[in-house]
Amino acid sequence: MTQELHIVGGGMAGSEAAWQAANMGVNVVIHEMRPKVETFAHRTGNLAEMVCSNSFRSDDDEQNAVGLLHWEMRAANGLIMAMADKHRLPAGGALAVDRDPFSESVTDTLRALPNVRVEYGEITELPSDGHWIIATGPLTSSALGAAIQAETGAERLAFFDAIAPIVYAESIDMDVAWMQSRYDKGETEEEQKAYLNCPMNRDQYEAFIDALLAADKTEFHEGETAGYFDGCLPIEVMAERGRETLRHGPMKPVGLTNAHKPDEKAYAVVQLRRDNALGTLYNIVGFQTKMKYGAQTEVFKMIPGLENASFARLGGIHRNTFLNSPTLLDDQMRLRSRPNIRFAGQVTGVEGYVESAAMGLLAGRLAAAEILGKPLPTAPLNSAMGALVHHITGGAEAKTFQPMNVNFGLFQPVDGLKGGRRGRKDRYKAYTDRAKADWQGWLDAQS
Ligand SMILES: Cc1cc2nc3c(=O)[nH]c(=O)nc-3n(C[C@H](O)[C@H](O)[C@H](O)COP(=O)(O)OP(=O)(O)OC[C@H]3O[C@@H](n4cnc5c(N)ncnc54)[C@H](O)[C@@H]3O)c2cc1C
């Protein structure tokens, strides 16, 4: 066989993609810029370096979506999971990893394969022919970032995320909240009721501002703010600029009438907007934040209607290079305008070591199958892998697209099961049982 697969970036995604493609018999070249070109976060020249925490999060494959993704990657003979398991550290139900031996093992395993070559150097252009996977992660080098922007349009590759917290729709108290767009704007009833509104009286607003100001915050890492501009301020920074700032910004109450108490004018309103086509997830509009996770849940549960909220994702602002994948990628993770190039990992708009490795696993298999002349369907929709790839390549709202963790809000409902908190355990078990069967079926069809 003569056709090679080139993978740019030997991080979580690129390493897993290389392993999968090489095991399918394809020759692979990994182009990794480190240690020649450094980033502010990586410390070594190893492949699959964990840049910050050493956790792969929950390992529970029956009640947790990230644990399910672990299961699916193990079932697919994933290298990242195998090495994480080999270098596991005690951490209760979570999968914590001894980071240096982990990345050294990934590097050694890949370098020992006869059909994998690692070339150390930066790729600065988008290649016009051959089969490529770009897996350059949140810290894609600036030259390659510029080349991607030249292809996609500048507004479709972001360099910072601005993540507003996302709440499971079922956990919002609709006896308090109501659906309405400001001034009932929109042509259709669906548009006129596109937002979910949570009202605050004056006391609630003042207490909320106090809590925002007092909450523990995280700082940007050293070197992380290069190129950051003030366009997307954290809500707590807006609150620091004046106690009324939020009431004239994302929490303004104008143009809204409380459906439960039409005669009562809210002092401030928090708006949530649908975040996926399924309607299972809502993001809190304009609430990007650098508050610590524990503080976020405490503060956001002060919002009337969100007292019992379950969060699919908490907010954040990070240096993070990512594509507007819903408009740019097809379900095979190919760039629509240049189908010889796939993207994988965090640059596609997933977030986290596990999700990035998962997208590498999928892209590696899809690319290798195409090279071998036996193209594969993308991952089944009801698997964790499929739910995630479907979200980033189509299910998410393109206009407000921000990076996403895997979570059960991305899954199609299972018919006949109880909603709400009480039914959660059975529901999650049903999701994970269905996912495992479908994922195993997809794998078996390839063997
Ligand atoms: C500061 C920081 C802290 C983070 N903390 C966490 C955390 O605690 N937990 C978590 O789950 N996730 C964390 N993340 C996100 C984490 O980086 C990703 O989840 C994961 O590493 C992404 O995998 P990836 O393969 O997409 O990218 P990476 O693992 O970053 O791999 C991309 C690789 O591409 C290389 N590269 C970039 N540009 C080029 C180029 N032009 N040519 C050749 N090679 C190139 C890079 O050197 C790198 O090795 C953090 C990210 C940052 C920036």
Across 94-108, 283-297, 420-434, least confident range = 420-434
pLDDT in tens, 256-291: 999 999 999 999 999 999 888 888 999 999 999 999
Q: Which of 136, 321, 361 to mutate to test the pocket of ligand 1 (most atoms within 8 A of CB)?
A: 136
Distance 341 CA to ligand 1 centre (A): 19
Q: Which residues of the chain are in CATH 2.40.30.260 domains?
A: 162-318
| Torsion angle defined by CA atoms of residues 399, 400, 403 and 404, in that order, rounded to the nearest 10 degrees | -100
Q: What is the CATH number of domain 162-318?
A: 2.40.30.260
pLDDT computed for residue 230 by the predictor:
66
**Calpha distance 114→313 (Å, rounded):** 41
Report the chain's mean pLDDT, rounded to a whole number: 94
Map tokens 């080098």 to a residue. Answer: 141
Asked whether 31 lines ligand 1 (CB < 6 A), one says: yes
pLDDT computed for residue 320 by the predictor:
93
Asked whether 352 lines ligand 1 (CB < 6 A), one says: yes
Tell me the pTM: 0.92
pLDDT computed for residue 1 by the predictor:
45
pLDDT computed for residue 420 by the predictor:
75
* For range 425-433, the mean pLDDT: 95
Contact 72, 358 (CB under 8 A): yes
pLDDT over 80 (residue 101) = yes
Across 108-112, 192-196, 435-439, least confident range = 192-196
- In the chain, what percentage of residues exceed pLDDT 70? 99
Asked whether 6 lines ligand 1 (CB < 6 A), one says: no
* For range 79-103, the mean pLDDT: 94
| Residue type present at position 433 | D
In a 3-state reduction of DSSP, which class is residue 208?
Answer: helix
**Calpha distance 20→39 (Å, rounded):** 26
Across 270-279, 316-325, 357-366, 416-425, least confident range = 416-425
Q: Which residues of the chain are in CATH 3.50.50.60 domains?
A: 4-156+323-445
* For range 289-306, the mean pLDDT: 97
Binding residues: 9-14
pLDDT computed for residue 57 by the predictor:
95
pLDDT computed for residue 125 by the predictor:
97
Distance 268 CA to ligand 1 centre (A): 39
Give the β-pairing of 27-32 and 4-8.
parallel
Structure tokens at 197: 């509104």
Contact 342, 132 (CB under 8 A): yes
pLDDT in tens, 314-345: 999 989 999 999 999 999 999 999 999 999 99
* For range 34-55, the mean pLDDT: 95
CATH superfamily to which 4-156+323-445 belongs: FAD/NAD(P)-binding domain (3.50.50.60)
